[in-house]
Structure 1
Amino acid sequence: MRFGVNYTPTRGWFHHWLDFAPDDIRADLDSITALGVDHIRVFPLWPLFQPNRTLIRPRAVEQLTLLVDAAGERGLDVGVDGLQGHLSSFDFVPSWTTTWHRRGLFTDPDVVEAQAAYLTTLARALADRPHFLGMTVGNEFNQFSGPPHPDPDRIGPAQAGRWLRRMLDACEKGAPGRAHLHASYDAAFHDGTHPFTPAHSARLGAMTAVHSWVFNGTAQRHGPGGAATVQHAAYLVELSKAWATGPGRPVWLQEVGAPAPHIPPERAAEFTEATIAAAADCPDLWGITWWCSHDVDRALADFPELEYGLGLFTNDRRIKPAGEAFSRGVRRWREEDPPGPAPRRTALAVDAGDEETAPARAVCAPGGAFFEAWMRLAADGVRPAVVLAQRAHDAGHLAARGITEVLTVEQVGS
């Protein structure tokens, strides 16, 4: 299993691309390496790399390769997100898609072709680096497709699927054979009206990505130390598998963090340890990538309060208790080299309606009947998997996943 961090630069946050400083980046990477991790995830800002629809800045692409090479020199593999897109409550979209040039991010032919060209360019620039993992299409780009975004580009599930396939094909064109994927925030699993679906997450790309944030109602409902809170990441990993077309598809816990005040700072280390232990007990987990490496500099304005303190390090590169806990978990895993977790024999059946669009997936959200039933099982020491109701009696499917017992929400009770 892989362990890594989402790299948040100490100097200028992701605005560091405007004042690219290799020495600062190397110092940041040195602190990250000390954690014992093996990879990072990095975030070019789309408007800075492609400020005009037909201009992808060569100097910006060169700076990305310099960052990736600096990581590789330290033994760190690198996953690169392309369309940024959305980060820490801020949107980063180029001027040629907004105001006087407003056009659909997912459907306008010129925009889609420009996005594809951009992803291909980044992937091609990195294709010969052995430490380049692959591209993620963008960071939670699905948030542009519907509420609560204040100005969404509304599409349907079929349009979302076509766009994702086009973007993934563009990544593959630039760097054939690498692990290219896409990443959605959890509306894809919790909101039946959202156009990006669990099937998209679990069937498109080289692996499934899940982002676990307990401020989505989980910590508010169950408290910072509740079983549901520390099992939330594991829950999303297992939930995503229900929609996979076959057993063994890898799942990347690509973002998970300890957001205050939902997780008080004095409990962040405890939460980190418990979350790692729970997620590591999920078969087929590719890796855990913590959000994030370094705190946001408080000289930068207008971030939501919780965004400033999510780092494993302070902004001046001092390790925090959560960072120490994460590093202990990494080193313990490396030193003990445990075998992969046993199959989860008991599964809870989820009925979210149509398999492709999952219109009733609200049952999977915090407070939903399925979510709460799964968490009751987990709290009782059961290691529940998840199976779609449509496959609950498919003997071949269950056997392939090692499932010997399927429960319904009604059987779990309240």
Structure 2
Amino acid sequence: MVPHLITALAGPLAELERTVLNASPQIERWFRMQWQDNPPPFYSSVDVRNAGYKIAPVDTNLYPGGFNNLAPDTLPLAIMAATGAVEQHCADARSLLLIPENHTRNQFYLQNVLRLQQILKQSGLNVRLGSLNPEVTEATPLDAGNGQSLTVEPLQREGDRIVLPGFRPCIVLLNNDLSAGLPDILKGLSPNQNLLPPLHAGWAVRRKSHHFAAYDRAVGEFAQFIDIDPWLINPYFAAVRGVNFHEREGEQQLADAVSDVLKRIQAKYTEYGITEQPFVIAKADAGTYGMGIMKVTSPEEMVGLNRKARNKMSVVKEGLQVSEVLVQEGVPTIEQVDGGSAEPVVYMIDRHVVGGFYRINAARGRDENLNAPGMTFKPLPFAAPCNTPDCSDAVDAGVNRFYTYGVIGRLAALAASLELEATRPRASAAAPALA
């Protein structure tokens, strides 16, 4: 179930894409076998960068909040995928409790919740919305700004289950990334009430470095299987702990990590004859929304940051202080849409790619973070009628280019499965480290 998307594509082609295209039957079987041992998260989204010489994920979100940006003609596939995902967790489920973010004033986000609710309802579920927001003390209607509204209700705890009045759901689906911490009301739920994703997938616990360590594992096997250099689909990275930007603690460790990653990138650039200047992205090891991110081209830039840069890097969503930093290989984008730098965002439900969109930012360069003010989104509609890559067509045909993006998205979802299993809390011992 791999969708093929239509959009304007430009830029040089990588031999990588032809290799992936030619190996598609073997790749599909490989994924099928992997999912048997490593069930994917309920849903995910993956930011992908195509540099022309490599295609790699730069972020994986386990609480995707842009379903409203998907093209309407992707909905049938999303509904089918959601139906399969629900069957995996509670085959006879009749009801699902969806817990959104506390963004009661962000109408674009509320439109995402409405679209997600629509998908879940069409998969055969009664869906109601429960809020973690302490300000929601009764059933509260919210205006989504598109002529529609939704109603959120305060969560209630009944023994070891989460309920709403007259509503005892089999599945509780989080669309709240728990950046503010793990709420007591969600702890210790009955195994018979499926909480998806699990609590340790929230940013209060999860770390990007754990995810990319798991991605290393997945890509190592995949790259060996199709005989490619894993670097072509994998960004280098390093993690730095004990950072305090306000007190200038950890600056030298950050500089050393930047130096190490830059040297590794330069070695690959030399090997492949790439003449661009390597760079890294330093970002908070936990959190989202494009906060706590900066581009770095030399180790010296991490020492003696000015006040503005320290303030930018020190705090992320929910006002949380940054003490752990991911230093990740910068992957520039060759893609432009409507005159702006663009990157595809691949959306998955269970093991299936269900659609995607381009994040576009005309105010940002090809080597900058596009998840920033000024960004817009362009849905990617399906190419009809095929559901398989066309090996007789050019590798840059939409049907084939986006097959490769779908492979990257599924590798990231597989990595998320490995990550969540490796970091799952255990009663008898601490979870094994991935990084």
- Is TM (by shorter chain) over 0.5? no
**Structure 1 or 2: more strand by fraction:** 2
TM superposition score category, shorter chain reference: under 0.3
Higher relative contact order (CA 8 A, sep 6+): 2
Larger radius of gyration: 2
TM-score (norm 1): 0.25
